[in-house]
Chain A
């Protein structure tokens, strides 16, 4: 039995934030899940995938990208089945197109969109603040501070979504998704049967042609008004009024503030507004909190999202409280916080004499060798990089070549001694940027992309390259799995778990050949043969594809065990 099914109602378990979200969704009776993996959200999809093999009443798919996953979940919710999609913060950029219009057409059954942000870029290319997607779309947003809240909020998010007929954003950050804490489980929904939903046609609802869209925008704003009233009296927004100095805080920082309050001995003095239901911003509650305060510190990671909302309230209500936040230099606008940073800001807001804790003398420690993540021993990507490098060296092009790269383990090809990664924006950008470099320079271009990333966002720019006549070599590193996020399935994999054996194998080589692009498939471990096979494509400099096919060593090991 899957470990998330074992706990009975009232049982306590030590769960990861992401596991708590899955448990909450199972208690809410989620029927359809769809996701593309991305750290720090990946475990949600992994568990739902495993659970869907075990529960006949649950469907889950790893879709090819977040946009498709969003559309799958949206259609399920439109058909009356509770659905969930989850993604890392940048995944919502990919899914933003359907998402922003989904806010107009809405849902019938509850739909939860989990976005896991990554302040400090632990495993991401940026640290964008996805709370702005709530404001941009008009969709309600909940932000848990702990795994326990993550479970309970997921459950509530489904109810809220159904009540408003809108999707609901559940926004976490790395320190919530990958925090482990004690969670008291609720009652699981019944998953014995997969009961199909029914889609009721309604042209004035589901087809946002201009006339419908204009009306649906009005409806959305009405619902946002209702949601704001719900947020103002939500149990997830807790207010304690004590002294004239206050703190407004949300997300993981709630923990940092509560610890700091205790350690600084401010329990009897500090006024607190702990926010979990953060969009629509509960203005009336904020006004009630701020009135009578002298100063108010805002503790939130990344952008001054709450801070600016509070300043609007201050201006609208003509309050005299001074808002202390990022603009005033109390806390930084970048990277994740840590408890000491918050304690220091709080002490400053209270004008307390505070010195950060002393740590042991470290002056005697020499410069330590860095330990960046590296390609695993035996990784096929390294072999592919080497053989491509060797052939380019023979051609005298190794140094001059531009190497656009992509998102995956193979981005680590940037490190010496390989140094074969020069430019990266996002999923699929290796191919699109290769098109641009082909136009803008006379340099040789060899782009690298993984199998999962190719399916995710590599196909449209490859078709663009063919049609526009761009010249570059695309190397598809097909290791038969989405390795970096924990070995999720991909359509091209031949080595696959039993439940996926029925699905077709979609060959990247055949796909590219079908487009009429010169394509070769190589086994990167067979150096000599591989070099012979790729030499014509690399030396032609014209559009060509090399598919390096060899399973990820860690993935392959799972099948032996």
Chain B
């Protein structure tokens, strides 16, 4: 970890992973950290699994190998489990617990697992796991769509990265359209507080 930070953000197409990573990257830029990231666009976004790799500091590779992520941010719980092998054994995980049920489950072609015991197990495997209902908090902020920014607030609140709260706020102001700024600032704060109170 002395060499840099690798953050893997995962979720489902449409949840706003790209905005999440842009704001995080911008926050790193505000703090003067080198930053690189990579995203997958196109067909993968049509309700499929979406991931974004973000590296800060002394890392150049914009892509994270198995066992290398220092931080896992999951906007959806099953996607947290799917990406677990990408994490270091000591990684921090920040997970929204609200399921997004895949179409194949709705069509009766697959089953969605029973979450509570799995999330309990996740806590024992990765002791630094924060679970929060991102959707509830986003709705409290004014829109369920602000889930991505709730998780960004939670990431800031976990203080696992060397980025100040002010850097995140400045990044939000730079990236988010003015009309949605207040909503997003509220969402950020709710995520931030949720993690602080869990600590």
Residues in B whose Cβ lies below 8 Å from that of A338: 63-66
A409 near B46: Cβ-Cβ < 8 Å: yes
| Partner of B89 from A262, A359, A369 at Cβ < 8 Å | A359
Q: Which residues of B contact A336 (CB under 8 A)?
A: 63
The reply to whether A179 and B110 contact each other, CB–CB distance below 8 Å, is: no
Measured CA separation A484–B38 after assembly (Å): 19
Name, among B12, B49, B68, B86, the residue most crowded by chain A CB atoms within 10 Å (CB to CB): B68
Contact flag A359-B88 (CB < 8 Å), given A181-B35, A181-B36: yes
**Chain B residues in the interface with A (C-beta under 8 A):** 3, 12-13, 21-22, 25-26, 29, 34-49, 58-68, 78-79, 81-82, 84-89, 91, 102-105, 107, 109-113, 118, 121, 125-126
Report the nearest A residue to B82, measured CB to CB.
A368
Q: Is A361 an interface residue (CB 8 A)?
A: yes
Q: Which residues of A contact B45 (CB under 8 A)?
A: 373
Does any Cβ of B come within 8 Å of A318's Cβ?
Answer: no
Instruction: Determine if A259 and B42 form an interchain contact, defined as CB atoms under 8 angstroms apart.
Output: no
Asked if B43 contacts A39 (CB within 8 A), the reply is yes
Given contacts A123-B41, A180-B37, A412-B46, 16 further A-B contacts (CB under 8 A): A16-B39, A39-B42, A42-B42, A122-B43, A336-B63, A338-B64, A356-B66, A359-B86, A368-B81, A369-B78, A371-B49, A371-B79, A373-B44, A373-B45, A409-B46, A485-B42
Q: How far is the CA of A262 from the CA of B61 in the complex (A)?
A: 12
Of A362, A372, A415, which is within 8 A of B84 by CB?
Answer: A362
| A128 CB to nearest chain B CB (Å) | 17
Please classify the interface of chain B as helix (H, G, I), strand (E, B), loop, or mixed, using the class held by over half of its residues.
Answer: mixed
* From B29, B64, B110, B121, contact of A369 by CB (8 A): B110
CB-CB < 8 A to B41: which residues of A?
A: 39-40, 42-43, 123, 178, 486
Compute how far the CA of A16 lies from the CA of B41 in the bound complex, rounded to whole angstroms.
12
Indicate which residue in A175, A252, A373, A417 contacts B47 across the interface (CB closer than 8 Å): A373
Contact in complex: A357, B67 (CB < 8 Å): yes
Contact residue among A263, A368, A373 (Cβ-Cβ distance under 8 Å from B43): A373
Determine whether A12 belongs to the interface, using a CB cutoff of 8 Å to chain B.
Answer: yes
For A379, give the chain B residue with the smallest CB separation. Answer: B46
Task: Assess the A180–B38 pair: CB atoms within 8 A.
Answer: yes
The 8 Å CB contact of A40, one of B25, B42, B61, B81, is B42
The residue in chain A whose Cβ has the minimal distance to the Cβ of B79 is: A371
A365: Cβ under 8 A from any B Cβ: yes
What count of chain A residues pass the 8 Å CB interface test? Answer: 57
Contact with B along A437-469 (1 / 0, CB 8 A): 000000000000000000000000000000000
- Which single residue of chain B is at the shortest CB-CB distance from A18? B41
- A266 touches B (CB below 8 Å): no
Residues in A with CB closer than 8 Å to B47 are 371, 373-374, 376
Q: Are A374 and B89 in contact (CB under 8 A)?
A: no
Which residues from chain B contact A362 at a C-beta distance below 8 Å? 81, 84-85
The distance from the CB of A209 to the nearest CB of chain B, in whole angstroms, is: 42
Which residue on B lies nearest to A146, using beta carbons?
B36
Interchain CB contact under 8 A, A259 and B59: yes
Is A268's CB within 8 Å of the partner chain B? no
Shortest Cβ-Cβ A-B pairs, 3 listed:
A340-B65, A39-B42, A357-B67
| Chain B residues within 8 Å of A505, by CB | none
Q: Quick one: CB contact mask for A359-394 with B, threshold 8 Å, 1 for yes?
A: 111101110111111111000000000000000000
**Chain A nearest Cβ from B64, distance in angstroms:** 8
Q: Answer whether A255 and B60 are a contact pair too, CB < 8 Å, given A14-B35, A371-B48.
A: yes
Tell me the minimal C-beta distance from B113 to chain A in angstroms: 5
Chain A to chain B contacts (Cβ below 8 Å), 11 pairs: A123-B44, A182-B35, A255-B60, A256-B61, A262-B58, A338-B65, A340-B66, A357-B65, A357-B68, A360-B89, A371-B104
A122→B40 contact, CB < 8 A: yes
| Interfacial chain A residues near B61, Cβ < 8 Å | 255-256, 259, 339
Of A12, A179, A262, A360, most buried by chain B (CB within 10 Å of CB) is A360
When A14-B22, A122-B44 are in contact, do A416 and B107 touch as well, CB less than 8 Å? yes
Contacts of B3 in A (CB 8 A): 262-263
User: Closest approach, in angstroms, between the C-beta of A220 and any C-beta of chain B?
Assistant: 35
| A130 at interface, CB cutoff 8 A | no
Q: Report the separation of the CA atoms of residues A373 and B84 in the bound assembly, to the nearest whole angstrom.
A: 21
Residues of A contacting B125 with CB < 8 Å? 360-361, 364
Does any Cβ of B come within 8 Å of A537's Cβ? no
Contact check, B104 vs A359: say whether CB atoms are below 8 A apart: no
Residues of B within 8 A of A405 (CB): none
Contacts of B68 in A (CB 8 A): 339-340, 357
Q: In chain A between 1 and 44, which residues have their CB closer than 8 angstroms to a CB of chain B?
A: 12, 14, 16, 39-40, 42-43
Q: How far is the CA of A416 from the CA of B110 in the complex (A)?
A: 12
